[in-house]
């Protein structure tokens, strides 16, 4: 029976709960809002299916293909504007929907306080999946739903983090001709409870409920993107990723899921057909493609990934690129987040002290400099 002794060994994908024949596994939130399986021991029949489908238990497969890589820009400006990088996800999703397919991806709930994986079947709903949401999304029963659509012969695009894609693949246990898997480059997923508390704090400050959140507002620049929150009363909060306290805590790795610090789903031998990333370093590698409005790095790992790109070829400008050079500017593609010594302290103090003061304390550069100095002094003793 699945038992989480070390949180680094669970990415929260829910493949165990989805596979349980007795439905005796519930995904339960911890203090930071991350989901972990809890087994009803009286109902468990010890079939061990939950363990056999856990993607964290699987050994990494040797890389057998050299992925192709491209710099890609969606030609339609309005799509690119709403997307985190070059808008490739939207174009792929549009093609799947035009074939009568179903697209799974991460969407805010109505309040923007949490993010869930949902299935959409129409273009009108596609806006819900566009754009990065920097907190872990809840998979819920998406894996079972995807399987059911596939069994009905429907085409399915499943988009998610590399660990979610690994979880789905493991849950399905076999290949489906009509299944397309797309993952994102993933720095790591921040704690849902921290985002919830942060948004609540801003709602108090701005005197109203949030009506729209964009983590990647490109109004000023793609590279120095803004977190922009519109409130029902017309107020607007907008701050860049270096100044906003939540984004600072995320990028300083203060509250990622513990498994992100030991992530084994990165690298070039991915479970997905196609990987989408921000093409950081574009101004150095292909300066002619950099207009600071967002360029995607697209990594194709299978013939299905190639097919997806071919289907949208007329709608993007595509330039073959050197993957190794691109990785130099985007190490999250191959390496797990570095463990942050302040992470445990942050978690211990979360909900006990005001969030803003905690973020100021742990997500400021000066804190790390101070810590580094302290460690250096300690080592010299």
Ligand X SMILES: Cc1cc2nc3c(=O)[nH]c(=O)nc-3n(C[C@H](O)[C@H](O)[C@H](O)COP(=O)(O)OP(=O)(O)OC[C@H]3O[C@@H](n4cnc5c(N)ncnc54)[C@H](O)[C@@H]3O)c2cc1C
Where along the sequence are the contacts to ligand X (CB under 6 A)?
83-90, 105-106, 115, 129-135, 137, 159-161, 184-187, 189, 276-278, 296, 330, 332
Compute the least distance from the CB of residue 104 to ligand X, in Å: 8
Largest CA distance in the chain: 67
Compute the least distance from the CB of residue 184 to ligand X, in Å: 4
Owner of token pair 């012969």: 153
Compute the least distance from the CB of residue 89 to ligand X, in Å: 3
Compute the least distance from the CB of residue 106 to ligand X, in Å: 3
* Nearest residue to ligand X, by Cβ distance, number only: 105
Compute the least distance from the CB of residue 43 to ligand X, in Å: 30
Residue 206 or 222: the one with the smaller Cβ distance to ligand X is 222
Q: Are 257 and 163 in contact (CB under 8 A)?
A: no
Give residue 240's region: left, alpha or beta (phi > 0; psi -120 to 50).
Answer: beta
How far apart CA 137 and CA 231 sit, in angstroms, is: 22
Residue 49 or 170: the one with the smaller Cβ distance to ligand X is 170
Provide Rg for the chain, Cα atoms.
21
Compute the least distance from the CB of residue 379 to ligand X, in Å: 31
H-helix segments, 241-333: 245-251, 282-285, 303-311, 323-328
Residues 332/180/27/4 CA torsion (nearest 10 deg): -50
Residue 131 or 258: the one with the smaller Cβ distance to ligand X is 131
Residue 283 or 349: the one with the smaller Cβ distance to ligand X is 283
Closest to 146 measured CA to CA, from 103, 100, 114: 103
How far apart CA 381 and CA 377 sit, in angstroms, is: 7
Residue 2 or 247: the one with the smaller Cβ distance to ligand X is 247
Compute the least distance from the CB of residue 345 to ligand X, in Å: 23
Compute the least distance from the CB of residue 188 to ligand X, in Å: 7
Phi and psi torsions of 328, nearest 5°: -55, -30
Residue 191 or 355: the one with the smaller Cβ distance to ligand X is 191
Q: Are 14 and 164 in contact (CB under 8 A)?
A: no
Q: In this structure, are strands 68-74 and 35-39 parallel, antiparallel, or unpaired?
A: unpaired
Closest to 280 measured CA to CA, from 339, 336, 225: 225
Residue 133 or 154: the one with the smaller Cβ distance to ligand X is 133
Q: Are 111 and 210 in contact (CB under 8 A)?
A: yes
Residue 83 or 170: the one with the smaller Cβ distance to ligand X is 83
Residue 85 or 259: the one with the smaller Cβ distance to ligand X is 85
Burial of 314 (0-12, 13-18, 19+ CB in 10 A): exposed
Owner of token pair 């699987």: 58
Both tokens of 231, joined, read 């409130």
Compute the least distance from the CB of residue 53 to ligand X, in Å: 20
How far apart CA 323 and CA 325 sit, in angstroms, is: 5
């Amino acid at each position: 029976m699945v038992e989480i002794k070390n949180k680094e060994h669970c990415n929260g994908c829910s493949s165990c709960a989805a596979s349980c024949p007795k439905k005796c596994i519930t995904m339960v939130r911890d203090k930071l809002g991350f989901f972990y399986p809890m087994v009803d021991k009286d109902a468990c029949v010890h079939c061990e299916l939950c363990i056999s489908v856990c993607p964290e238990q699987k050994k990494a497969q040797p890389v057998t293909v050299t992925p192709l890589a491209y710099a890609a820009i969606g030609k339609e400006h309005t799509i690119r504007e709403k997307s985190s990088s070059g808008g490739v996800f939207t174009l792929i999703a549009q093609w799947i929907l035009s074939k009568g397919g179903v697209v799974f991806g991460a969407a805010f709930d109505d309040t923007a306080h949490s993010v869930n994986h949902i299935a959409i079947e129409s273009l009108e709903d596609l806006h819900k999946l566009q754009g990065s949401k920097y907190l872990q999304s809840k998979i819920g029963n998406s894996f079972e739903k995807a399987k059911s659509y596939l069994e009905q012969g429907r085409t399915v695009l499943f988009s998610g983090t590399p660990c979610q894609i690994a979880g789905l693949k493991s849950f399905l246990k076999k290949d489906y001709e009509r299944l397309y898997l797309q993952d994102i480059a993933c720095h790591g997923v921040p704690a849902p409870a921290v985002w919830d508390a942060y948004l609540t704090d801003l709602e108090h400050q701005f005197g109203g409920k949030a009506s729209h959140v964009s983590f990647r507002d490109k109004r000023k620049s793609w590279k120095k993107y803004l977190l922009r929150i519109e409130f029902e009363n017309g107020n607007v909060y907008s701050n860049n990723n270096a100044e906003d306290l939540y984004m600072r805590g995320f990028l300083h790795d203060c509250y990622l899921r513990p498994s992100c610090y030991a992530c084994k789903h990165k690298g070039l031998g991915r479970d997905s057909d196609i990987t989408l990333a921000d093409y950081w370093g574009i101004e150095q590698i292909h300066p002619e493609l950099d207009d600071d409005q967002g360029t995607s790095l697209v990594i194709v790992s299978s013939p299905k990934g190639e097919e997806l790109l071919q289907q949208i070829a007329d709608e993007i400008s595509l330039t073959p690129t050197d993957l190794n050079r691109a990785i130099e500017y985007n190490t999250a593609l191959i390496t797990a987040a570095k463990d942050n010594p302040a992470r445990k302290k942050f978690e211990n103090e979360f909900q006990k002290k005001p969030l803003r003061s905690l973020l100021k304390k742990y997500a400021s550069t000066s804190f790390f400099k101070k810590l580094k100095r302290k460690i250096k002094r300690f080592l010299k003793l």
